[in-house]
Amino acid sequence: MNQIIDVTKIEDILPEYRHTPIGLLLEFHNLNRPFAEYSEAQLLVGMCMDNRKHLHIPENFSYIIRSGGANLRYSEFKVSYAISVGGIKHIALIGHNNCGMVNLHARKGEFIDGLVNTAGWTQERAEEHFGNFAPMFEIGNALEFVVNEAKRLRVKYPKIVVAPLFYDVDNNKLYMIKE
């Protein structure tokens, strides 16, 4: 069973992530570590596109890919670019509570109505669009998804350290996940 770990001091950071860019991310965001100057990214962050999340990190510290539910399946070329060209060796994959990609089918009507009323789509086109793409982006349980996505990325990029993290949109804190 996955366990959420509150990071309120450096010692709370799991040993495998301490003294790495993942540990620094947690220190910057949760512990208000003073910012250092970076000329190159140290980390790739994969996180949800949700507007309620904002990381407290220095300029140039990380590449960030935002995708619904922190799902990087359809952003793998970008991940590969950050690793191969950017020299990234660490990925922080951040899921969060109250994610809109969880139970996506419950929002089907709202989604379709929004495309019809806001974007000018026909009802039929909006329904087809939802039917074709919702199964690809539905994530189920946000915590389980981010852990499974981290495992998937570890298999794909075996030399890269991938850490699943969790963001609480109510208190704006990052949490470690003990797998």
DSSP notation for 12-81: GS-TTTTTSHHHHHHHHHHH-PPPPP-SS--EEEEE---TT------TTSEEEEE-GGG--GGGHHHHHH
Maximum separation of any 2 CA atoms in the chain, in Å:
55
CA-wise closest residue to 99 among 66, 136, 141 = 141
Residue type, 161: V
Region of 79 please: left (phi>0), alpha (psi -120 to 50) or beta: alpha
Confidence of residue 99 (pLDDT cuts 50, 70, 90): confident
Check if the beta carbon of residue 114 is closer than 8 Å to that of residue 57. Answer: no
pTM, two decimal places: 0.93
The model's pLDDT over 27-73, given as tens digits with 9 standing for 90+, comes to 999 999 999 999 999 999 999 898 888 999 999 999 999 998 899 99
Q: Give the C-alpha separation, 39 to 31, whole Å.
A: 22
pLDDT at 89 over 80: yes
Distance (Å, whole) CA 19 – CA 170: 28
How confident is the model at residue 44, as a pLDDT? Answer: 98
Tokens of 156: 């794909």
Hey, CA dihedral for 76, 153, 32, 7, is it positive or negative?
A: positive
Place of tokens 């992530």: 17
pLDDT at 2 exceeding the cut of 90 = no
**What domains sit in the chain, N to C, each tagged with a CATH number?**
3-101+141-178 (3.40.1050.10), 103-138 (no CATH)
3-class secondary structure, 175: strand
